[in-house]
Amino acid sequence: MDMLNRKYLGQADQMQLHTGLPSIMDPLEKITKMQAELNENREQLLIQREAVRASARKVHNQRQRTGDAEACLMNAMREYLNQSGIELPSSITNAYAQLDTARNILGSHEDDYLTLERQLAGTEWSYMEMENDFYQFDLADLLSSDICPEECLFTDTEAIPNLDRSVSSIQSSNPSIASRDLRLVNQELHTLKEKFNALRQEQSELLEFEDFDHVAFDEVEVEHARSGASRIEAESFDILDRIFNLEVESQRLKLEEMDRKLQLPVCRHVISEPSRVTQHSSSIDRAVTESAVSLLSPSHSMKHTLQAWILDRLKQDVVQKTMYLNVLQDFEIPPALSESWEERATRYWSVDSSSDISEEENRTTNPPLSTRSHSG
């Protein structure tokens, strides 16, 4: 307890902390004032947005009244045609006058609405620019300065041991951030694929339109179909390019996530552990081969995961399948009638891939267990 008081609760240290408080409070007060100014601007923005909504409601109500006036005009015209009179009755002229008045009022309201909408857009852009400046520049400048000077820190002679470089690299690659980036990329990929499928459906409809006789259609419709085909082609190439880039980014994030998981066993959990930790695992850049299993961290769960992944690649990849069959043929193993090569690979894969033999002569002289079991 005395040692704890000497380290953290000493009178000299407390005095140094109190002397450093003004340097901490000044930036905080600046941040508070800037945040209050942002809140005030946000309230003004909401007030203008509510005014725009009220104007939109007026436009909507006036459009309804205009529609009613147009309906009255059409009914009057219908009655006039039924009567087959020559002169227009007063009901039609009155309905037309009401329609003209309603349209004028609607035009005035729409002009007011467009003016308010433009003002709102300008205010929103100004607010967004102010907010971006605050979070990107002003706040960064305040936080980048030394909030607590060196004299307000604890003056204990015992130095805290430095963390190993591998630990800092692991902490920098936060698993939640890496997983979040991967999820965002996959979601964007899914959205782009849906858009591409929708464009393919639209293109198929245009192809069906081209199969018909264009004489039966208007020239405007034919020109619209041609312009739509060129637009779909341009958008399809753009989406395919974005999908390709996102696929590359997704593969990179997956490899980084695998590398991060392989680096996790060397992370120290308490500060009392040695500051230098021996590296027992090797990072995997692109693909996990069978020869790299013995170099990995001695984690059985990770080895089983890699073995299952390699076996799955063996069953899916034609090249890997051919190489495996060539190995069986080199050891003069005939295909068994009772089991297929997939069953044989699954049966002996965990034993063959976990061998620690690394010398090339041992690999050539000692066949895998799957081959030795057949010969035995």
For 131-146, the pLDDT digits (tens) are 767 766 776 677 665 4
Q: 264 falls in which pLDDT band (50, 70, 90)?
A: low
How many structural domains is the chain composed of? 3
| Domain around 49 | 16-150
Q: How many other C-beta atoms can be found within 10 angstroms of the C-beta atom of residue 95?
A: 20
Question: Is position 155 within any domain?
Answer: no
pLDDT of residue 344: 74
CB 351 within 8 A of CB 369: yes
**Do residue 20 and residue 96 come from a single domain?**
yes
Mean pLDDT of 18-45: 73
Residue carrying the six token digits 């009567």: 83
- What lies within 8 Å, CB to CB, of 306 at 6+ separation is 288, 293, 296
Question: Is position 159 within any domain?
Answer: no
Cα–Cα nearest to 282, from 259, 301, 305, 256: 259
**Do residue 100 and residue 179 come from a single domain?**
no
Question: Is position 279 within any domain?
Answer: no
Question: Is position 118 within any domain?
Answer: yes
Please write down the HEC assignment for all residues of the chain. Answer: CHHHHHHHCCHHHHHHHHHHHHHHHHHHHHHHHHHHHHHHHHHHHHHHHHHHHHHHHHHHHHHHHHHHHHHHHHHHHHHHHHHCCCCCCHHHHHHHHHHHHHHHHHHHHHHHHHHHHHHHHHHHHHHHHHHHHHHHHHHHHHHHCCCCCHHHCCCCCCCCCCCCHHHHHHHHCCHHHHHHHHHHHHHHHHHHHHHHHHHHHHHHHHHHHHHCCHHHCCHHHHHHHHHHHHHHHHHHHHHHHHHHHHHHHHHHHHHHHHHHHHHHHHCCCCCCCCCCCCCCCCCCCCCCCHHHHHHCCCCHHHHHHHHHHHHHHHHHCHHHHHHHHHHHHHCCCCCCCCCCHHHHHHHHHHHHCCCCCCCHHHHHHCCCHHHHHHHC
Amino acid letter for position 155: T
The alpha carbon dihedral of 267, 272, 274, 276 has a sign of positive
Residue that is last in its domain, among 266, 281, 309: 266
Residue that is last in its domain, among 150, 184, 205: 150
Question: Is position 277 within any domain?
Answer: no
**Do residue 317 and residue 201 come from a single domain?**
no
**pLDDT value at 196 more than 60:** yes
- What lies within 8 Å, CB to CB, of 365 at 6+ separation is none
Q: 225 falls in which pLDDT band (50, 70, 90)?
A: low
**Do residue 141 and residue 200 come from a single domain?**
no
Q: How many other C-beta atoms can be found within 10 angstroms of the C-beta atom of residue 335?
A: 11
State CA 198 to chain mean position distance.
21
**Do residue 114 and residue 185 come from a single domain?**
no
**pLDDT value at 375 more than 50:** no
**pLDDT value at 269 more than 50:** no
Question: Is position 54 within any domain?
Answer: yes
Question: Is position 187 within any domain?
Answer: yes
Output the domain CATH number for residue 234: 1.10.287
Output the domain CATH number for residue 132: 1.10.287.1490
Q: 346 falls in which pLDDT band (50, 70, 90)?
A: confident
Q: 192 falls in which pLDDT band (50, 70, 90)?
A: confident
**Do residue 299 and residue 330 come from a single domain?**
yes
The contacts found for 8-12 with CB under 8 angstroms, 24 or more apart, are 8/154, 12/155
**Do residue 248 and residue 317 come from a single domain?**
no
Cα–Cα nearest to 113, from 44, 50, 46, 53: 53
Residue that is last in its domain, among 231, 249, 266: 266
**Do residue 309 and residue 223 come from a single domain?**
no
Residue carrying the six token digits 């997939």: 342
Q: What is the pTM of this model?
A: 0.29
**Do residue 144 and residue 181 come from a single domain?**
no
CB 347 within 8 A of CB 372: no
Residues of the chain with pLDDT > 70: what percent? Answer: 53
Half-sphere exposure of 142 (CA within 13 A, CB side): 18
**Do residue 129 and residue 207 come from a single domain?**
no
**Do residue 71 and residue 179 come from a single domain?**
no
**Do residue 29 and residue 135 come from a single domain?**
yes
Question: Is position 177 within any domain?
Answer: yes
pLDDT of residue 166: 43
